Structure 1
């Protein structure tokens, strides 16, 4: 379990993290989301003792991570896949990490096999692609078989097979009862991976809830209706005070569920060919929530510049 209480970090005149409270529970995948500059990396660095809080506390399984005599057995982390000596082989990189934490060298082969790097274990890490570096970083995180796993952008540079593997692997770790905390900008994957979301913006917590609750609270939805007499259906629903918008050969209705819309239209003797609930994506919901927390806003390119 990871627990933060009034966690704050200031750099000169800038507050990166501003008195946040949260708990990352075991047995579920918690996604950590936020725009660039929101405080995600700083928060993760404070969890791992790489940055000292200005005030407040953060603990891993009841104590400061830095106080652990064998850190890799306490928490496995991937913050920077490039934090590897380029002249050292993948196997040797893991061997010295194992030796420093009293982990049997047999574990090195196990984690290399786990992440699919056993066949290139003797190659220098400097020759690895970004995706291979990510896999090696995950192998290092799992070296001590830790109960807590923290991964920052773990699918960067991975191919579709690798992305699916990370998703399945995270789910497996949570099912084993471990605490899994993952930061990512890839919303489509987070939607498939996370059970719980922690959203940060400008150093403050914007949301701390289950994925289901987040989508219910922040994702817009409407019912798509297609019918032969579309104008009559739209007139009927508008007359009932519903929000009705016509788009090409369909109308989009807000304020009533699909079944109730179907019953109402049928009661007036009108045919319906489609009733579909459409909910916006996690990306749309995230963008709506964090719109006022984005530090850098891009402007649309002009037609000439785009060319």
Structure 2
């Protein structure tokens, strides 16, 4: 378990992380989301003892990670995927990690097989693609068989098969009872991977809830209505006090559920071709929540939801 209490980090007059409290529990995948500059990387670095908090504290299974006698056995972390010597082979890189941390050499072969690099383990890591480098970074994170796994953007550079593999790996680690904390900008992937979400913006916690609850609270929902009598239905629904918009050759209706709308239309003898509840995605929900927390914004932005 990871526990942050009033965790704060300032750099000069800038507050990167502002007295945040959160708990990352074992047995589930927790996604850590936020716009660029929100404080995600600084928070992760404080968890790992790479940055000292200005105030507050963060512990891993009840102790500060910097005081751990066997760091790689306590937390497996992927913060910098290219954190290896380019002239050293993947196998030698992992052998060095194992030897320096008192781990059995057999663990090297186990993690190489786990990440799918056993056939290229003798090649110089500097020749690896970005995706292969990510796999080596994950192998290094898991070499100590840690109860807590922290991964920062683990799917960068991976192809669709690799992304699916990371998703399956994260969920398997959580099913084994480990604490899994993942930062990512790929909202569609987080929607399929994370059980719980912690969202940060401008150094403050904006949301801390299950993925399902987050989408329900922040995503826009509407009922899509299609009919040969679309214009008449639009007038009928507006007279009933519902919000009606026209998009994609259909009516987007808010203010009532699909059953209520269907009954109302049927009661006036009008036919329907489609009556579908549509809920916007995790990405849309995230954009809605963090709209005021984005540090760098382009002049033209797509609408968050229709």
Query: CA–CA distance in 2 between the matches of 1:84 and 1:249?
Result: 54
How far apart are 1:300 and its partner, in Å? 3.6
Query: CA–CA distance in 2 between the matches of 1:248 and 1:293?
Result: 30
Query: CA–CA distance in 2 between the matches of 1:125 and 1:248?
Result: 49
Tell me: CA distance 1:113–1:8, structure 2 relative to 1, closer, same or farther (3 Å). same
1:48 aligned residue = 48
2:304 aligned residue = none
Matched, 1:217 2:224: no
1:140 aligned residue = 140
Q: Which string of whole-angstrom CA distances, capped at 9 and with x for unpartnered residues, describes residues 35-74 of structure 1?
A: 1111000000000000000010000001011111111111
Matched, 1:262 2:268: no
Query: CA–CA distance in 2 between the matches of 1:80 and 1:248?
Result: 43
Query: CA–CA distance in 1 between the matches of 2:95 and 2:255?
Result: 60
1:150 aligned residue = 150
How far apart are 1:248 and its partner, in Å? 5.3
Q: Which string of whole-angstrom CA distances, capped at 9 and with x for unpartnered residues, describes residues 61-95 of structure 1?
A: 01011111111111100000111111111011111
How far apart are 1:296 and its partner, in Å? 0.9
2:116 aligned residue = 116
How far apart are 1:249 and its partner, in Å? 3.1
2:57 aligned residue = 57
Q: What does 1:1-307 correspond to in 2, within 5 Å? A: 1-247=1-247, 249-300=249-300
Query: CA–CA distance in 2 between the matches of 1:249 and 1:25?
Result: 45
CA root-mean-square deviation:
1.1
How far apart are 1:247 and its partner, in Å? 2.7
Query: CA–CA distance in 2 between the matches of 1:265 and 1:89?
Result: 68
Query: CA–CA distance in 1 between the matches of 2:206 and 2:235?
Result: 39
Q: Which string of whole-angstrom CA distances, capped at 9 and with x for unpartnered residues, describes residues 153-177 of structure 1?
A: 0000001100010011111111111
Query: CA–CA distance in 2 between the matches of 1:282 and 1:248?
Result: 21
Query: CA–CA distance in 2 between the matches of 1:279 and 1:148?
Result: 33
How far apart are 1:22 and its partner, in Å? 0.1
Matched position secondary structure for 1:123: coil
Matched position secondary structure for 1:80: coil
